A and B are shown apart, each in its own frame.
Chain A
Amino acid sequence: MSVDKNTVAKIARLARIRVDEKQQEELTGELNQILGWIEQLSELDTDGVEPMTSVVEMTQPLREDVINDGYYVDRVTKNAPESAHGFYAVPKVVE
């Protein structure tokens, strides 16, 4: 598996990261190298081995359904570049 420059540009766009032409070239090379390393793993025989979904041998801890957070609108919007009437105020996004 490998990626070309167009794919790199698309991934960057989806992730909202600005990557200029020159960087796209460089990243294509780097990403393909990484993909190459990962591909080496497929040489291993993993038949009968459970997929490892986590490095810790435990399952999802659960919390009880109680309300014990929230009600601090000031803290929530404190870092917002702009807020108004308790809302975040952002540049207009309309469909």
Chain B
Amino acid sequence: MSYRIKGNTGEWEVVIGLEVHAQVISKSKLFSGAATAFGADPNHHVSLVDAAMPGMLPVLNKEVVEQGVRTGLGLRAQINMKSVFERKNYFYADLPQGYQISQFLEPIVGEGTITLDLEGGDVREVGVERMHLEQDAGKSVHDQHPTQSYIDLNRSGVALMEIVSKPDLRSPEEAGAYLRKLRSILRYLGTCDGNMDEGSMRADVNVSVRKPGDELGTRTETKNVNSIRYVQQAIEHEAKRQVKILEEGGEIVQETRLFDASNGTTRSMRSKEEAHDYRYFPDPDLLPLVLDPAWVEDIKATIPELPDEKKERFINDFGLSAYDAGILVADREKAMFYEEVAEGRDPKLAANWVMGDFFGALNKSGLSLDASPVSAKQLGGLIGLIKDNTISGRIAKEVFEVMWETSKDADTIVEEKGLKQITDTGPIEAAIDEIMAANPNQVEAFRGGNEKLIGWFVGQTMKATGGKANPGMVNQLLKKKLAG
């Protein structure tokens, strides 16, 4: 189903491109030795380079370059062996240099691809136009003083990757899928923590509308949107706003807009109108960055199995559905957890338990995976007990609840509570005989053709055995005995 905006003159297609700013995981900044950690006191993580004191010179951080190359490789993108840092000139209170050091004509990473995982296990490829390295700006605080803004430069000079998609996205859902997948890849690579709350990932959203099949329309750019939901809201609002203007005979002005999270709308950011003339030029303080091919090969060797490959493997080796595999690989830690659970166990049963009872309990208790009271090994143990018929699936759910409460192993709990499944025919037969003797009318009715009553007998037998009877055997024995 294509996403369309319904207007008075028919349906409109929405064309979306995203520019994602992702903070690079590194200890120190892109061009200085100041720390990057979030949450420090104002201006503590600031060197004289970051404060743009006269005479200070930038020196490029090797780890950041490596992270950039790693990200490019993870996006299946072209790595440019030569790239150039340029100055992007504009004035703002939190930009002490008066320019941002960025890459413009020659970015470190060229075209790549991201595979979107859509509803129902569908996939779609979206192009990445480029990725470049640049400095972050400082932070302005406007609400602490009636006539002043406070400037904190802790973020100033922290390395960002700007990842620019092609205008390949066509709906808020696809934009969401793109951001989730990109975040997942960056987390797998360990190049960005993807934490949108702390601003380590934020998106500029380019939106235009057109009648299906027409040329691209004029776009607007909504800056610095910091959650996936907000990105989707901004797209929706912006598309509707543009359709209304066009249908009323107006024209779209190419402009920068701001997203207002309080009401889900966008508004013009007039101050930026002239600022688009950035007068880029190569930074004379920095030489071109030339990568040694051997270094790139070394970095390639450190790339872990990424979500797409892992998903492929889960489908092929474990027989999981594309949908289940997609859910399990989205988060690297969860995927690793699942693999540990599934190790030497039935992989499908393991997937059901991890995605069902386990994630359910985790969500309900609001715990993160590493704080889970039940380890992957323990959950694997429980699955082993189900598989070898020690306990039934129903009892397993009870055992799991106790495991969650006590962090004990499944077999200990089964032992302590005497929950071992009854697989001897003797006790089951005895229970059935008793039930049949006590309920002659039901036996009569069943034999008279009311075969649905078998369910009632199964229930009674399970109840009589405290739920411990093997359900398969109960069925089998009941059928035999009831048949007379």
Report A's interface with B, CB cutoff 8 A: 10, 13-16, 53-54, 56, 58-71, 73, 75-77, 79, 82, 84-95
Contact = CB atoms under 8 A, between A and B. Distances in A.
Nearest to B34: A70
B287 A65 contact: no
Contacts of B63: 64-65
Contacts of B462: none
Given A60-B289, A76-B48, A87-B152, A92 B35 contact: no
A90 B50 CA distance: 18
Contacts of B286: 60
B27 A65 contact: yes
B42 A14 contact: no
Given A14-B274, A69-B47, A63 B151 contact: no
B44 A70 contact: yes
Interface stretch (B115-123, B141-149, B311-319, B427-435): B141-149
A73 B45 CA distance: 8
Nearest to B140: A93
A86 B91 contact: no
A14 B149 contact: no
B28 A65 contact: yes
What 10 A-B pairs come out closest when comparing CB atoms?
Answer: A65-B63, A70-B34, A87-B150, A69-B33, A69-B47, A62-B62, A88-B151, A86-B42, A68-B33, A59-B290
Contact of B287 (A59, A76, A87, A93): A59
B351 interface: no
B245 interface: no
B287 A85 contact: no
- State the main secondary structure of chain B at its contact with A: loop
A93 B93 contact: yes
A67 B28 contact: yes
A76 to B, nearest CB: 5
A67 B34 contact: yes
Contacts of B91: 16
Interface string B49-67: 1110100000111111100
B148 A89 contact: yes
Given A70-B33, A91-B149, A94-B149, A65 B46 contact: no
Most buried by B among A16, A67, A70, A87: A70
Contacts of B271: 95
A88 B150 contact: yes
B299 interface: no
B145 A84 contact: yes
Nearest to A62: B62
A71 B141 CA distance: 20
B145 A70 contact: no
B288 A54 contact: yes
Chain B, interface size: which category?
Answer: 35 or more
Given A63-B33, A65-B28, A87-B150, A53 B60 contact: no
Contact of A60 (B33, B45, B290): B290
B153 interface: yes
A67 B154 CA distance: 13
A13 B274 contact: yes
Contacts of A92: 142, 145, 147-149
Contacts of A62: 59-62, 65
Nearest to B267: A95
B195 interface: no
Interface string B250-282: 000000001000000000010100100101001
Contacts of A15: 89
Nearest to B43: A73
A72 B206 CA distance: 40
Contact of B46 (A14, A58, A73): A73
A74 B279 CA distance: 33
A61 B150 contact: no
A61 B282 contact: no
A70 B62 contact: no
B71 to A, nearest CB: 16
Contacts of A65: 26-28, 61-64
Interface string B92-121: 110000000000000000000000000000
B287 A53 contact: yes
B48 A94 contact: no
Most buried by B among A15, A58, A63: A63
B191 interface: no
Most buried by A among B149, B279, B289: B149
